[in-house]
Chain A
């Protein structure tokens, strides 16, 4: 009885193993003439040296007759053909070529994730600044500030539509896939690679919404007259002569905001006669600097609508009303206020500044655009 040498045994064993090694071939040979699709799939399985397993509920599609001649078809091309024509997927799992329903395969990979998009849906308000006028008793002038003007809220459904329209639009009708509002956030059930695209999309929207403008107000030392608008280079040279800003405003693109700082005091602005007595009307008066800006970033620069007001040199004269007997009835504070005011709109280059001459002084409003869409 002859015995095989160990080397021969190893060679034979290796041959047997290699005969059964499942392998995804680089190219496939696909030929069929009016044959059921199932035959084509068995042919592919043979070329992979693999068994074949077909997922439930796709057998009807395997009965369809196929005629094709494909030589040197890549695996990717064959996979795409099956997906496009028959909504089937094909992949090697273990020792088998597994044929599955594309939608079912898709559903098997679904995961749920919550996206908190309140940063995109919160209404951004406008914050107008004060006028610094002497208040008119009984009129709105005595208000320190006009009311805040809230913008409209961006409906969360707008984002649902955006996501469904631009991120994998054909997948949203697949059973199991979903997008739903929950507690001001979105719960989305999708496959991981689409979740990644959604997350990046939302982050991109956030970066776009985050564009802001920093407006700084400086009081310049008396100097030679400057142009009404300075570009970044010219402003940088002027800025070296200034110690610190007198006001800073941070506003989002197309948002109105203001800076006000100054002195406020109560005055007896008026008196009404009430039940034979004088009823004093107390009001509030402010002096200081108010910078109210509304910015709109464009390619040419920042379109800046400015409401710049200074109120200063406040003098209050006390006037006293007396009766015929010389008795004091009521004092009144008569206010003498110097006010400078400019309301205009200028296009200021980012990094540059607008110059405002005011009663012998120069004020500069510099703008800096914070754009987070441009990655470093």
Chain B
């Protein structure tokens, strides 16, 4: 439904009634206007004769000879009706009091009526930013990454909380609300409080617009996924998109029925899991000549991850449904046998210097360098050879899983459900995805 907005402009004069202070008998006087493109000054003189002394603003005085008015009555009408007609068509405002009639422009009147209003925007959910919840991965997403394999996460399976980035920019909000209030003076303070100078009519208009935003932001949907199997050979005639009644009729036929339900704000990603987690050694590394077991956690069961975005007639639904059942598994033992460690050696180098006697037949002169001989000795020593490294045996788990993970994005009519089917060791696996009231 459309929410009417009082656009804060001169046109909003259409939404008011004459301001009357106390008992004002002259409003019941009857008068027949005959102003053919008459200056405002002439009109005001006529009104003063019929009503009471006029009080005008500076702006009205400036307009008095420039503004032309055409108002022609075919009969005498109440002065109240004439003043209201002038207000509605000439963008001027009257305030009728027993002893005077005040006339001012609509802008002056609006500015005079404006007062400080504190709008708590958070009350309207404007800065609401619920987190996105990505479902953890069930079963295998990709091959283990020990040396081989791509080792990337297909579904960005991340259980951390993320915000969907729907929170508005505060300056964008202020601009929007100032626009609604005829560029009124507005300041956004902490905690989402907007201090703004507005009239009562402007406040009504802004609150109506905020309420419309609130209804949009706080839209919520609830969803259910039913998981079960049909025995082999049983017929399944309805799959794909179906009516809720067809989904309802199928559910009692399913065996081992499990059901997950979630509720999501508009555009929020949510998930639910009915799972079983198991820690196992499914890989090995070699570190410092030894096996280093790599432990991981394997999750089996059923899970749903949904992100509904509500449209006019459809819900844009991103879905990832997972069903992983464990099957009889095997293990393999790996042995790093005992072996002799390789030996190591160290080399020592020694240099000795010896003073020699003077050479035969030669007499040393003062300043001659002394005769010396350098002798270098190198020795190598073997050490630690022959140590025995003990053998290690590690049992590696190799789980076997039955896996089915339908996913996609669909424009789902608001009165439809989805039914997926697959082969299963027990017959036909069925998932029913439907909206809840």
Which A residues contact B (CB, under 8 angstroms)?
20, 38, 42, 45, 49-56, 59, 62, 94-96, 98-100, 104, 107-108, 110-114, 116-120, 122, 124-125, 127, 135-140, 142-145, 147-148, 176, 180, 182-185, 187, 189, 192, 195, 199, 202-203, 206-207, 209-210, 212, 214, 216, 243-252, 255, 257, 259-270, 272, 274-284, 286, 288-289, 318, 323, 325, 327-331, 333, 368, 370, 372
A195 to chain B, nearest CB (A): 6
Chain A CB within 10 Å, residue with most, of B140, B152, B168, B418: B140
Asked whether B193 is an interface residue with its Cβ less than 8 Å from the other chain, the reply is: no
Residue pair B71, A184 in contact (C-beta under 8 Å): no
Complex Cα distance A51/B85, Å?
12
Complex Cα distance A125/B316, Å?
13
Q: Give the chain A neighbours of B144 by CB distance below 8 A.
A: 266, 282-284
28 contacts between A and B (CB under 8 A): A38-B36, A52-B72, A96-B73, A107-B9, A112-B3, A116-B216, A116-B310, A118-B267, A118-B311, A122-B309, A137-B149, A142-B149, A184-B166, A244-B235, A244-B421, A247-B421, A247-B422, A248-B422, A261-B402, A261-B424, A263-B402, A264-B139, A266-B399, A280-B334, A282-B144, A283-B149, A323-B337, A370-B240
Complex Cα distance A208/B143, Å?
40
Contacts A56-B89, A119-B309, A330-B334 given: A280-B212 contact, CB under 8 Å?
no
A sample of 16 more A-B contacts (CB under 8 A), given A137-B147, A243-B236, is: A51-B74, A54-B69, A104-B11, A111-B5, A122-B309, A140-B150, A176-B11, A203-B312, A212-B411, A248-B239, A264-B140, A279-B284, A280-B334, A282-B282, A283-B143, A330-B334
Contacts A107-B11, A275-B289 given: A95-B75 contact, CB under 8 Å?
yes
Q: Give the chain A neighbours of B148 by CB distance below 8 A.
A: 135-139, 142, 269-270, 281, 283
Residue pair A125, B409 in contact (C-beta under 8 Å): yes
Residue pair B422, A259 in contact (C-beta under 8 Å): yes
Contacts A143-B142, A246-B423, A248-B239 given: A257-B337 contact, CB under 8 Å?
no
B269 to chain A, nearest CB (A): 12
Residue pair B142, A95 in contact (C-beta under 8 Å): no
Residue pair B142, A244 in contact (C-beta under 8 Å): no
Complex Cα distance A59/B68, Å?
7
Contacts A51-B72, A206-B411, A264-B139 given: A119-B311 contact, CB under 8 Å?
yes
Chain A: CB-nearest residue to B241: A370
| Interchain CB contact (< 8 A) of A142 among B33, B150, B288 | B150
Chain A CB within 10 Å, residue with most, of B74, B288, B401, B413: B74
- Which residues between 392 and 437 of chain B lie within 8 Å of chain A, taking CB atoms? 396-411, 413, 418-424, 428-429
Residue pair A243, B234 in contact (C-beta under 8 Å): yes
Complex Cα distance A340/B154, Å?
25
Residue pair A259, B399 in contact (C-beta under 8 Å): no
Asked whether B233 is an interface residue with its Cβ less than 8 Å from the other chain, the reply is: yes
Report B320-353 CB contacts with A as 1/0, cut-off 8 Å. 0000000101001111110100000000000000
A95 to chain B, nearest CB (A): 7
Chain A CB within 10 Å, residue with most, of B5, B72, B398: B72
| Interchain CB contact (< 8 A) of A246 among B36, B233, B422 | B422
Q: Give the chain A neighbours of B74 by CB distance below 8 A.
A: 20, 49-51, 95
A-B residue pairs, 7 tightest by C-beta: A119-B311, A214-B240, A137-B148, A210-B411, A142-B143, A244-B236, A54-B70
Inter-chain contact count A-B, CB under 8 Å? 330
Complex Cα distance A124/B314, Å?
15
Q: Give the chain A neighbours of B266 by CB distance below 8 A.
A: 116
Contacts A95-B74, A144-B154 given: A114-B216 contact, CB under 8 Å?
yes
Chain B: CB-nearest residue to A267: B398
Residue pair B3, A331 in contact (C-beta under 8 Å): no
Classify chain B: how many residues form its interface, as a range.
35 or more
Complex Cα distance A214/B71, Å?
68
Residue pair B89, A54 in contact (C-beta under 8 Å): yes
Residue pair A176, B2 in contact (C-beta under 8 Å): no
| Interchain CB contact (< 8 A) of A243 among B71, B141, B233, B403 | B233
Residue pair A260, B405 in contact (C-beta under 8 Å): yes
Q: Give the chain B neighbours of A99 by CB distance below 8 A.
A: 70
Residue pair B9, A176 in contact (C-beta under 8 Å): yes
Complex Cα distance A249/B400, Å?
25
Contacts A216-B239, A328-B335 given: A206-B143 contact, CB under 8 Å?
no
Chain A: CB-nearest residue to B292: A279
| Interchain CB contact (< 8 A) of A280 among B11, B172, B284 | B284
Residue pair A189, B142 in contact (C-beta under 8 Å): no
Residue pair A264, B336 in contact (C-beta under 8 Å): no
Q: Give the chain B neighbours of A325 by CB distance below 8 A.
A: 337
Asked whether B108 is an interface residue with its Cβ less than 8 Å from the other chain, the reply is: no
| Interchain CB contact (< 8 A) of B240 among A140, A243, A250, A327 | A250
Q: Give the chain A neighbours of B97 by CB distance below 8 A.
A: none
Chain B: CB-nearest residue to A99: B70
Q: Give the chain A neighbours of B233 by CB distance below 8 A.
A: 243
Report B221-250 CB contacts with A as 1/0, cut-off 8 Å. 000000000101111100111000000000
- Which residues between 1 and 60 of chain B lie within 8 Å of chain A, taking CB atoms? 2-5, 7, 9, 11, 14, 33, 36-37
A250 to chain B, nearest CB (A): 6
Chain B: CB-nearest residue to A139: B148
Contacts A119-B309, A124-B409 given: A261-B75 contact, CB under 8 Å?
no
Complex Cα distance A43/B15, Å?
30
Residue pair A262, B11 in contact (C-beta under 8 Å): no
Report B271-289 CB contacts with A as 1/0, cut-off 8 Å. 0000000000011111111
Contacts A53-B72, A116-B216 given: A279-B403 contact, CB under 8 Å?
no
Chain B: CB-nearest residue to A55: B89
Q: Give the chain B neighbours of A195 by CB distance below 8 A.
A: 2
Residue pair B408, A257 in contact (C-beta under 8 Å): yes
Residue pair A189, B7 in contact (C-beta under 8 Å): yes
Q: Give the chain A neighbours of B327 by CB distance below 8 A.
A: 263
Residue pair A118, B309 in contact (C-beta under 8 Å): yes
| Interchain CB contact (< 8 A) of B411 among A119, A142, A286 | A119
Complex Cα distance A274/B422, Å?
43
Residue pair A95, B77 in contact (C-beta under 8 Å): yes
Residue pair B399, A265 in contact (C-beta under 8 Å): yes
Contacts A250-B408, A284-B140 given: A329-B337 contact, CB under 8 Å?
yes
Residue pair A143, B139 in contact (C-beta under 8 Å): no
Q: Give the chain A neighbours of B14 by CB distance below 8 A.
A: 108
| Interchain CB contact (< 8 A) of B70 among A59, A104, A212, A267 | A59
Chain B: CB-nearest residue to A246: B423
Q: Give the chain B neighbours of A318 by CB distance below 8 A.
A: 332
B237 to chain A, nearest CB (A): 8
Chain A: CB-nearest residue to B11: A108
| Interchain CB contact (< 8 A) of A138 among B7, B147, B234, B406 | B147
Residue pair A331, B332 in contact (C-beta under 8 Å): yes
Contacts A176-B9, A206-B314, A284-B143 given: A251-B408 contact, CB under 8 Å?
yes
B265 to chain A, nearest CB (A): 13
